[in-house]
A and B are shown apart, each in its own frame.
Chain A
Amino acid sequence: MKTNLRLKIGVTLLAIFVLGSLILPYFTHLNPTAQGTYFKNLPVSWKHPLGTNSLGQDIFWVIVFAVRNSLLLGVSVSLIVNLISITLGLTAGYSGGWVDRLIMTLCDSFITIPTLPILIILASLIKGSASFLTIGLILVAFGWAWGARTTRSMALSLREREFVHMARFSGMGHFEIIFKEIFPYVYTYGIVGFINTILYAINTEASLAVIGLSNLSVPTLGSALYWALNYNALFTKQYTWVLSPVVATVLLFLGLFLTSTGYNDLFAARRGRS
Chain B
Amino acid sequence: MTVIVLKSEHLNKVYSLGSLLRRMKIHALDDVNLEVMSDEPVIISLVGESGSGKTTLAKVLLRVVQPNSGDAIVHDRVVAGDGALVDRHSFLKTVQPIFQNPFEAFSSYRPVDAYLETTAMRINGLSRAEAVELVREALSAVGLKYTDVHEKYPNQFSGGELQRVSVARALIPRPKMIIADEPVSMIDASMRMNVVNLFLSLKNDYKTSFLYITHDLATAYYISDYVAVMYRGCIVEFGSAKDVLASPLHPYTQLLLESIPSVRVKWDRNRFAYSDLETKEFQFVGCKFYNRCPLAKEVCAHQRPQAVLRQDGRSVYCHFV
Q: Is the CB of B123 within 8 A of A166?
A: no
Q: Is the CB of A163 within 8 A of B153?
A: no
8 Å CB contacts to A: which residues of B67-120? 89, 92, 96-97, 99, 101, 104-110, 115, 118-119
Q: Is the CB of A165 within 8 A of B169?
A: no
Q: In the complex, what distance in Å separates the CA atom of A165 from the CA atom of B65?
A: 12
How far does the Cβ of A159 sit from chain B's closest Cβ, in whole Å? 11
Q: In the complex, what distance in Å separates the CA atom of A1 from the CA atom of B109?
A: 22
A237 contacts the other chain (Cβ, under 8 Å)?
no
How far does the Cβ of A57 sit from chain B's closest Cβ, in whole Å? 49
Interface flags for B140-157 (1: CB within 8 Å of A; 0: not) read 000000000000110110
A2 contacts the other chain (Cβ, under 8 Å)?
no
B64 contacts the other chain (Cβ, under 8 Å)?
yes
Question: Which residue of chain B has its CB nearest to the CB of A181?
Answer: B107
8 Å CB contacts to A: which residues of B219-236? none
B297 contacts the other chain (Cβ, under 8 Å)?
no
Q: Is the CB of B109 within 8 A of A171?
A: no
Find chain B residues with CB under 8 A from A185 CB: 107, 109
A169 contacts the other chain (Cβ, under 8 Å)?
yes
Find chain A residues with CB under 8 A from B169 CB: 166, 170
Q: In the complex, what distance in Å separates the CA atom of A163 from the CA atom of B110?
A: 10
Question: Which residue of A169, A171, A272 contacts B156 across the interface (Cβ within 8 Å)?
Answer: A272
B128 contacts the other chain (Cβ, under 8 Å)?
no
Q: Is the CB of B122 within 8 A of A166?
A: no
A172 contacts the other chain (Cβ, under 8 Å)?
yes
8 Å CB contacts to A: which residues of B161-195? 166, 169-170, 173
Find chain A residues with CB under 8 A from B109 CB: 184-185, 271
Question: Which residue of A162, A169, A170, A171 contacts B101 across the interface (Cβ within 8 Å)?
Answer: A162
Q: Is the CB of B105 within 8 A of A162?
A: yes
Q: Is the CB of B104 within 8 A of A161?
A: yes
How far does the Cβ of A189 sit from chain B's closest Cβ, in whole Å? 14
Question: Which residue of B89, B107, B115, B170 contacts A184 across the interface (Cβ within 8 Å)?
Answer: B107
A162-B99, A271-B153 are contacts. A171–B119 as well, Cβ < 8 Å?
A: yes
The CB with the most chain B CB atoms within 10 A, among A170, A181, A271, A273, is that of A170
Q: In the complex, what distance in Å separates the CA atom of A272 from the CA atom of B118?
A: 22
Q: In the complex, what distance in Å separates the CA atom of A169 from the CA atom of B167?
A: 13
Question: Which residue of chain B has its CB nearest to the CB of A173?
Answer: B122
Question: Which residue of chain A has its CB nearest to the CB of B107?
Answer: A163
Question: Which residue of A165, A181, A272 contacts B97 across the interface (Cβ within 8 Å)?
Answer: A165
A165-B97, A272-B152, A273-B155 are contacts. A171–B123 as well, Cβ < 8 Å?
A: yes
Q: Is the CB of B119 within 8 A of A272?
A: no
Number of chain B residues close to chain A: CB under 8 A: 29
Question: Which residue of chain B has its CB nearest to the CB of A171?
Answer: B122
Find chain B residues with CB under 8 A from A167 CB: 107, 115, 118
The CB with the most chain B CB atoms within 10 A, among A163, A167, A169, A185, is that of A169
How far does the Cβ of B116 sit from chain A's closest Cβ, in whole Å? 8
How far does the Cβ of B105 sit from chain A's closest Cβ, in whole Å? 5
Find chain A residues with CB under 8 A from B97 CB: 165-166, 169
A165-B97, A272-B155 are contacts. A172–B106 as well, Cβ < 8 Å?
A: no
Find chain A residues with CB under 8 A from B123 CB: 170-171
Q: Is the CB of A170 within 8 A of B115?
A: yes
How far does the Cβ of A149 sit from chain B's closest Cβ, in whole Å? 23
A127 contacts the other chain (Cβ, under 8 Å)?
no
Question: Which residue of chain A has its CB nearest to the CB of B88?
Answer: A171
Q: Is the CB of A166 within 8 A of B108?
A: no
How far does the Cβ of B255 sit from chain A's closest Cβ, in whole Å? 30
Find chain B residues with CB under 8 A from A161 CB: 104
A167-B115, A170-B118, A171-B118 are contacts. A271–B99 as well, Cβ < 8 Å?
A: no
Interface flags for A150-170 (1: CB within 8 Å of B; 0: not) read 000000000001110111011
How far does the Cβ of B121 sit from chain A's closest Cβ, in whole Å? 8
Find chain B residues with CB under 8 A from A165 CB: 62, 64, 97, 99
Question: Which residue of chain A has its CB nearest to the CB of B63?
Answer: A168
Can you identify 27 A-B contacts, CB atoms within 8 angstroms? Answer: A161-B104, A162-B101, A163-B104, A163-B105, A163-B106, A165-B99, A166-B99, A166-B105, A166-B115, A167-B118, A169-B92, A169-B96, A169-B119, A170-B115, A170-B118, A170-B119, A170-B122, A170-B123, A171-B118, A171-B121, A172-B122, A180-B110, A184-B109, A271-B109, A271-B155, A272-B155, A272-B156
Cβ-closest 8 pairs across A and B: A171-B122, A184-B109, A170-B119, A272-B153, A171-B123, A162-B104, A163-B107, A170-B118
A residues at B contact (CB < 8 Å):
161-163, 165-167, 169-172, 180-181, 184-185, 271-273
